Amino acid sequence: MTLMDDKKIYNMNDQVKQGKTGEEKILQLLKVRHPEAKIEDVRNVQKYRTDDIDFVITLPSKQTKTIEVKTDSYTTGNFALEEWSTNPKNTDEFGEFIEDGSGSIGCFRKTKADYIYYYFSEWDLLFVMRTEPAQEWFEEARHTFERSNVYNEGYKGSIRKVLIGEMQMALGNNNIKEYKNITKEIENG
């Protein structure tokens, strides 16, 4: 494991804008793919914000699914999985953060959504992951991936860079699916 720390400071407003753009794209896609479903936008409902859930879908069968959307504009070939929203204060002798309650666990680790929709905006590429198997795998393997600190106007969190193909192989087709050209799918409705 290597720690990357380039001290680039991200603008929170830009990050929120990028996230909202991705969320809106996924909301459009959900409406196209599930025209008979009831789709609730719960991004501003505190109960769901606490659980990192953006959308609740009730299918015609009355089955309910919850979704968290992550948007990434980079084209590195990696998922940038948020390990810590705010880094803990203490590390062990190997530089790994100690989970001592001084930090905030990152969204990928704590979301309670049924599915994570990870959207690469520059590639118009969507990965849909079943959350529980993805989180279990990440918890076991996260210390083997490169960690990068992320600075966001006063906050210092960290991500783990995970190769897309490596995660696909580890999770298998039942737990992660890839969808290309979703803009065209939305336009063709």
pLDDT tens readout for residues 44-62: 999 999 999 999 999 999 9
Instruction: Report pLDDT digits (tens) over 2-32.
Output: 344 455 555 556 555 766 899 999 999 999 9
Q: Which two tokens stand for residue 69?
A: 């959307």
Please give the Cα distance from 72 to 28 (Å, whole number): 18
Instruction: Report pLDDT digits (tens) over 103-115.
Output: 888 999 999 999 9
Which of these, 90, 83, 88, 132, lies nearest to 106 by C-alpha position?
83
Adjacent-strand bridge partners of 123? none
Longest dimension (CA), the chain: 55
HSE toward the beta carbon, residue 77, CA cutoff 13 A: 3
**This prediction's pTM:** 0.89
Containing 134, the helix (H) or strand (E) segment is: helix 131-141
